[in-house]
Structure 1
């Protein structure tokens, strides 16, 4: 089964919306100082909440700036949309970000879902099936290109794949992921892990070192329903928890201070 004898980690998705670019850099620096393990953005072209035409920045170039602005924290997209770039190019972008960050890059990837991105930027939206099929075709190309690039990545870049579809997505996870990210609740997580193990057995892969990752909610917070959910997910094997903050979370932008309670919770788990 997946890895559970590893430290609990906290990531923060610093959503690239409703803030200035400098505010996002200030936020990731504060999070690094706070001790979070990873910072993520997302791969969209428009806000996902709040004012739909509000301020927003592009994923890959923002990550490059964050990599230069930080020293320790891991970073990556949560997640790259496979549809938006040629797989070989995406591998090269990932390798370059790994060098900019001195080996701290996490390659998060998914099939894509936000139709406005596709329509406004001229990508074919297709269907969930065609998008997931394209992701399955892209992963071997990404891996092959990473193996060819000169210079090679600084490290063996960990691959995070998002999604919980049992027939197709979890098979891709079983074949290619080092980290599986989902929003599965505690009641369904064990079933999803059983399905994932079945796909791993079918493709002949040992997933005993795979990390289970899950989204967590700042608004519930540690102490109430959020506490119960965190504890239940942890008991079920989740070891990587990612919270999302947005540039309109507070009067001064990103509500970074709200993350401290989760860092403290992580530290108690790892004590």
Structure 2
């Protein structure tokens, strides 16, 4: 599908550990050779003790912009519901500058109901949240064109999700990276649908990097299907980079 090299990401889940551990793990991942360092955009842990230690996404990205030097950074993914689109565009532009052009804007429509109810956001419906995302993406792009100074580069947009009627149409129109949570069989089908959406808007699907989870059992098939960004996850209290190091070694073999 593409001559893109394989890249490896780490989703460092900001839960069940203090910030010193998060900062140290981010530094270890960069030193190990990871390409992209992600966190996530939630207000409470998704796994383990539901009221355990947890930190906020974008404040952390700004800190990573200063504490790392090579890796790209971003959220997998930001929730569109939590911030006004113009504000999010400005936040992204600011972190882009702090990092000297290493930010990826990962974004999705949101799904974790507790975040909404505890922080006072309207949860609504899945369809309504996707409609809001469709409205927000052009506003973000427009705001980037008005900011002074502008972003250091065309900030890559990563859209997460696999909804075939709405999400994949947004991917075709706006995304530089599509993150799929699907298994290999489902990914193959959804890629066909994404190609149809790309044809409808006059876009070459090869312009869109395909991003997936980095499970060892499926990575070869995912690569055959065209996936090029493979992300593994770890969280607290004792983050483990063993799987990440294995994926980096596999990347180096594939890209050799």
Which TM-score band (shorter chain)? over 0.9
- Distance in 2 between residues matched to 1:155 and 1:244, nearest whole Å: 27
- Distance in 1 between residues matched to 2:24 and 2:65, nearest whole Å: 13
Q: 1:208 aligns with which of 206, 209, 227?
A: 206
Q: 2:234 aligns with which of 238, 245, 248?
A: 245
Deviation at 1:266, TM superposition (A): 0.5
Q: 1:117 aligns with which of 115, 118, 125?
A: 115
Tell me what 1:163 maps to. 161
Residue by residue over 1:52-100, the C-alpha shift from the partner in whole angstroms, topping out at 9 and shown as x without a partner, is 0000000000111111111000000000000000000000000001011
- Distance in 1 between residues matched to 2:214 and 2:52, nearest whole Å: 24
Tell me what 1:223 maps to. none
Tell me what 1:193 maps to. 191
Deviation at 1:247, TM superposition (A): 1.1
- 2:180 and 2:187 in contact (8 A); partners too: no
Residue by residue over 1:167-224, the C-alpha shift from the partner in whole angstroms, topping out at 9 and shown as x without a partner, is 111000000000000112111222111101111111222232210000124xxxxxxx
Q: Which runs of 5+ in 2 are unaligned?
A: none
Tell me what 1:233 maps to. 222
Q: 1:259 aligns with which of 227, 238, 244?
A: 244
Worse-superposed segment, 180-189 or 45-54: 180-189
Tell me what 1:141 maps to. 139
Q: Tell me, what secondary structure is at the counterpart of 2:81? A: helix
TM-score w.r.t. the length of structure 2 is 0.98
- 1:79-158 matches, within 5 Å, as 79-158=77-156
- 1:47-58 matches, within 5 Å, as 47-58=45-56
- 1:18 and 1:55 in contact (8 A); partners too: yes
Q: Tell me, what secondary structure is at the counterpart of 2:145? A: helix
Q: Tell me, what secondary structure is at the counterpart of 2:179? A: strand
- Distance in 2 between residues matched to 1:196 and 1:109, nearest whole Å: 17
Q: Tell me, what secondary structure is at the counterpart of 2:73? A: strand
Deviation at 1:254, TM superposition (A): 1.1
Tell me what 1:222 maps to. none
Q: 1:42 aligns with which of 18, 40, 43?
A: 40
- Distance in 2 between residues matched to 1:18 and 1:239, nearest whole Å: 30
Q: Tell me, what secondary structure is at the counterpart of 2:205? A: coil
Residue by residue over 1:10-62, the C-alpha shift from the partner in whole angstroms, topping out at 9 and shown as x without a partner, is 00000000000111110111000000000000000000000000000000001
RMSD over aligned Cα, in angstroms? Answer: 0.9
- 1:4 and 1:238 in contact (8 A); partners too: no
- The size of the alignment, in residue pairs, is 256
- 2:7 and 2:230 in contact (8 A); partners too: yes
- 2:214 and 2:247 in contact (8 A); partners too: no
